[in-house]
Amino acid sequence: MEKLELTPPPAILFALEPLRAMADYVASLAPASQPLPQGDGHPVIVFPGLGVSGYATEGLRERLKELNYEVHDWEQGVNQWPDTEFDGFLDLLSEQLKRIHSQNGRPISLIGWSLGGVYARELAKTHPKLVRQAITLATPFADQPNSTHAGWLFTLLNGGVSPMDEALLRRLSIDPAVPCTSVYSPSDGVVGWAGCVGTESEYHRNIEVDNVSHWGMLHNPEVLRVVARLLAEHRRGTFRTLLDTCVTKLL
């Protein structure tokens, strides 16, 4: 894939984020233009973005429950990057993953919004047998901290020093060996869309959604349709045909 320029979104998009996010939320209140596929009951964990807790993802989780999924919050409160060693924090998140898998006996779908998608991808790498797929929403896993408008908050929450060194950034850009989808918007006002795009492969696919704000990713009807289609797919393994079929149905 051609290397993309990693730059922050235009300032005007960042300034309009609150208004556009409100529009995305209002759009989510309207009746669906077409029925969403019902799920098969498999478990799903939803990870929130930087600086917010599971309260921010509650609307998405409720909608997925209505589609017949066993949906879980990440159970770690406000997401402000771990105050411990990164792999130690992943071990903590793994405890919930293992517990839910033990109770349900089925692979788990992981959905992460923004920074939360980083955890979803890393858990998929360390526990591929427990993970059905990883879906990230506006997650800049291939980005640099200074290529987002959230970089200052990220640094502030970590004592004025960015916790992202070059080795960690390279690690985060590597895709899991399980089905993985990055949903991104070119009009994202917080993170640069180019940092949300990975190399397409047997396991990884990028899906663009138009005119969606960063904060509105959790509410926008088109994003919900994409997520619902991906969760409803039963095949676990090679992802190319699966995702091509999914996108064709959405068009």
Residue 237 has pLDDT above 60, yes or no: no
Q: What is the mean pLDDT of the chain?
A: 85
Could you give the 3-state DSSP secondary structure of residue 135?
A: strand
202 vs 154, which has greater pLDDT? Answer: 202
| Stretch 215-223: mean pLDDT | 95
Residue 197 has pLDDT above 50, yes or no: yes
162: confidence class by pLDDT, cuts 50, 70, 90: low
Please report where in the chains the tokens 């405890």 appear, as a residue: 95
HSE-CB at 161 with a 13 A cutoff on CA atoms is 4
Structure tokens at 84: 């411990």
CATH of the domain spanning 11-250: 3.40.50.1820
The side-by-side arrangement of strands in the sheet containing 204-208 is: 70-73, 43-47, 108-113, 131-137, 180-184, 204-208
Residue 240 has pLDDT above 50, yes or no: no
HSE-CB at 226 with a 13 A cutoff on CA atoms is 27
Residue 238 has pLDDT above 50, yes or no: no
The DSSP call for residue 57 is G
Could you give the 3-state DSSP secondary structure of residue 83?
A: coil
User: Tens of pLDDT along 47-66?
Assistant: 999 889 999 999 999 999 99
pLDDT of residue 34: 85
| CA dihedral (33, 37, 38, 39) positive or negative | negative
Could you give the 3-state DSSP secondary structure of residue 137?
A: strand
Least confident of 44-48, 98-102, 173-177, 239-243: 239-243
Question: Exposed, middle or buried, 31 (CB in 10 Å: 0-12/13-18/19+)?
Answer: exposed
Distances (CA, A) of 164 to 82, 100, 134, 171: 12, 30, 22, 10
162 vs 37, which has greater pLDDT? Answer: 37
Distances (CA, A) of 196 to 65, 125, 148, 199: 27, 18, 11, 10
81: confidence class by pLDDT, cuts 50, 70, 90: confident
pLDDT of residue 63: 95
pLDDT of residue 147: 58
| Stretch 151-160: mean pLDDT | 51
10: confidence class by pLDDT, cuts 50, 70, 90: confident
Structure tokens at 194: 């180019």
pTM of the predicted model, to two decimals? 0.86
121 vs 147, which has greater pLDDT? Answer: 121
248: confidence class by pLDDT, cuts 50, 70, 90: very low
Q: Are 80 and 157 in contact (CB under 8 A)?
A: yes
| Stretch 177-188: mean pLDDT | 95
| Stretch 134-157: mean pLDDT | 70
pLDDT of residue 241: 46
| Stretch 10-26: mean pLDDT | 90
Element (H or E) spanning 181, and its range? strand 180-184
